[in-house]
Copies of this chain bind each other. A is one copy, B any other.
Amino acid sequence: MVKDMDIPDIVIRRLPIYARSLSYLASEGVTTVSSSELGSRIGVTAAQIRRDLSYFGEFGKQGKGYNVQFLLNQIRDILHLEQQWGVALVGIGHLGKAIVHYGGFKDKGFEIVALFDSDPSKIGSELDGHKVYHYSEIPQVVKEMGLEVAIVAVPARSAQEVVDLLVEADIKAILNYAPITVQVPPDVRTRNIDPVGALQSMTYYLDPEKNMTYRINNGRAF
C-alpha cells in the first residue's frame, strides 16, 4: 500500500466504476477476476486498476487475480457504501420529481428523505411520503436530520443561493444538476451532472457536414 497519504480524487472517482463492474460480475456468478479482465470490461488498463487498488491495500492473489465479492466489499467499505445515506433534495420541478420517482438512488444506498422548494403552492404538500419545506428551512431541517448529502435540482439562477443554505446546514456533498459552477468552501464536495456540456464536448469531434440531412429538413421533416 502506498503511504497513508491522501489519495488522488481521480482514483476515488474510478472506484464506483470498478464496484459497478464487480457487482455485475458477482451477479453472473463469476468468483475471480484479473486486473486485465476487469480492465477490458471498463476500458482501462490492467496497470491502472492495480495501481489504483494499491493505494488502499493488497486485495489480490498473485497468479490468481481478485476475489470478486471480496474486492467489491473492500471498495464498498472504502467508499462508505455499507450504510444508507439520507439525502436532501432541493427543487421539485420536472427534474426534481423525476429524481424522486427514479428508484435507482435508493437501491444504491441513497434515500431521499427531505424535500425543499420555493414555490408557495408546493410548501407543506407531500411527495413520495415526505413533506415539502421552503428553502429557508434548509438549515434547520437538514441539521436536525444530520444529513451530509444533497441533490440540487433548481434553475441556474437559484442554485448558488440554495447551495449557500446547504453549506450553512453542514452538507458536505452536493450533486448539482443546475447548469452553473457553484462556489463552496474547501471542505464541501460537488459533482455536476451536465448532459448538455457532455454533448457539446462531443460535437467538437463530429463532422458538421454529415449533419446535413437533418439541416436540410430543418428539423421539421421528422
Chain A residues close to B by CB (< 8 Å): 9, 12-13, 15-17, 19-21, 24, 41-43, 78-81, 83-87, 94-95, 98, 101-102, 104-105, 108-111, 113-114, 130, 144-149, 156, 172-173, 175, 179-181, 183, 189, 191, 193-208, 210-215, 219, 222
Q: What are 26 A-B interface contacts by the 8 Å CB criterion?
A: A12-B204, A15-B201, A15-B204, A16-B197, A20-B197, A78-B204, A79-B204, A80-B206, A81-B200, A84-B215, A85-B211, A87-B199, A98-B98, A104-B179, A104-B196, A105-B195, A108-B196, A111-B219, A113-B214, A145-B214, A146-B214, A147-B211, A148-B207, A149-B202, A173-B206, A189-B205
- With most chain B CB atoms within 10 A of its CB, the pick from A179, A202, A222 is A202
